Structure 1
Amino acid sequence: MNAEASSRGKILVVDDDRLVLATVTHGLSAAGYEVIDADNGDDAILLAREHRPALALLDIRMEGKSGFDVAETLRDAYSIPFMFLSAFADEATRQQVQALGALDYLIKPLDVGQIVPAVEAAFVRVRGGAVAPPTAPAALPPTAPALVPAALSDPVPLAVGVLMHRYSLSRDAAWQRLQRLAADQKVSLPAQAERLLAAVEELARSAL
């Protein structure tokens, strides 16, 4: 969990795929957000109650409580706006997303550079008062364009973040591990980082 203060806003990210969770968490942190993360619905609700994030980004299909279950609690108990990130785009899922009153619905696979602008647009809508915390069905608004921070184009910090989350390493230990992997493969550090991120994306797709 990243609990560093940020002026851009606090967001709860929930996904039961820990590699996807690590990638999204690090990317949003690099974009300047304070990120709280959970890999299951029960922890997500506890963290939401404790930290009261301004926005939640929820995977839909998880073991135990689904993203829909979490969204209902966030809406009804804490008035926390939410958006969904899911691989499922069938009509039944879309109808449920709309019925819950989500701010947005992002379809996987997406990279962090695509997720950040959608999150930025959601924060603008919430802070601007254009969309109140959802309490009734609402049409999904379009995603506004936004600039992607330059930090997200560097694969090395993203790869370090993935290693930190995946293996419960400190930042220094994750950095050293990435350096060892690059040395073992006789490639540059950015090239090894790209390989690691590509492997993460492939694992995420295979788990869908």
Structure 2
Amino acid sequence: MSKGKILVVDDDRLVLATLSYGLTQAGFEVIDADNGDDAILLAREHRPELALLDIRMEGLTGFDVAAYLREYLQTPFMFLSAFADEATVAKVKELGAVAYLVKPLDISQIVPAVEAAFARSTAPAAPPAAAPSGLPAMLDPTSLAVGVLMHRYSLPCDEALARLTSLAAAEAHSLPEQARRIVDAVELLARPGTR
């Protein structure tokens, strides 16, 4: 029995094949596309319950596809990207992604994130919790903080997560709280007049 139907979009065919295979093995029904135009057509035809989108692609970007999914199909989406710069993170938050994962990740890290996103998207609607940092409640601050550390210090994902975990322990904060502190600091520094 399928855990759910997911649309996977990435213009790198090797990444797409790896994601599709891994998610199929994990029990998901996968529809895949290597460009934004096909992604929208397939989403209209198959009505996936979740989309996993690469951001930077030729033609329609992952952001374009996400905006369409949100506006016309009300399909939740998450991003998987190699980019974690301030403008990208801001756009991810603006669009309302349920998660933002930063490459490189292996499928063993992606499957739990997809399962969590499915759980959130199928849970009964509740009033959104106020996120202390102003982040949308469904956007995982730990993923964002790991992305920030990867980008800022040119770290692989596992090292960035280890550094974040170590910092949280050293400062006696939980991992999510330490992540929020980092994301808050980045947002504060990005405000006009603070550079």
Give me the whole-angstrom Cα distance separating, in 1, the residues matched to 2:141 and 2:58. Answer: 30
Cα contact 1:125–1:131 (8 A) shared by 2: no
Distance 1:58 1:9, change over 3 A: same
Which residue of the other structure, out of 109, 117, 136, is the alignment partner of 1:138?
A: 136
Unaligned runs of 5+ in 2: 128-134, 143-195
Q: Is it true that 1:12 corresponds to 2:7 in the alignment?
A: yes
Percent identity of paired positions between Structure 1 and Structure 2: 72
Deviation at 1:84, TM superposition (A): 0.1
SS at match of 2:136: coil
Return the letter of the residue paired with 1:125. R
Equivalent residue, structure 1, for 2:94: 99
Shift of 1:130: 5.1
Poorly superposed stretches of 4+, deviation over 2 Å: 129-132
Q: Tell me the CA shift for residue 129 of structure 1.
A: 2.9
TM score, norm. by length of structure 2: 0.66
Contact persistence 2:10–2:53 (CA under 8 A): yes
Structure 2 residue 121 is the aligned partner of structure 1 residue 123: no
Alpha-carbon contact 2:100-2:140 (below 8 Å) kept:
no
Distance 1:9 1:50 in 2: 16
Aligned residue for 1:124, secondary structure, equals helix
Taking a change above 3 Å as real, the CA distance of residues 131 and 82 of structure 1, as seen in their structure-2 partners, is: farther
Tell me how large the CA RMSD over aligned residues is.
2.0
Structure 1 residue 34: Cα displacement: 0.1
SS in 2 for 1:45: helix
Q: How many residues align?
A: 135
Tell me how far 1:32 sits from its aligned partner.
0.2
Q: Does 1:78 align with 2:53?
A: no
Matched, 1:26 2:21: yes
Can you list the C-alpha shifts for 1:151-178, whole angstroms capped at 9, x where unaligned?
Answer: xxxxxxxxxxxxxxxxxxxxxxxxxxxx
Q: Could you say what secondary structure the match of 1:64 adopts? A: coil
Q: Please list, as runs of the form range in 1=range in 2, the aligned pairs for 1:154-173 lying within 5 A after superposition.
A: none
* C-alpha contact (below 8 Å) 1:12/1:57 kept by paired residues: yes
For CA contacts below 8 A with separation 6 or more, give which structure has more relative contact order: 1
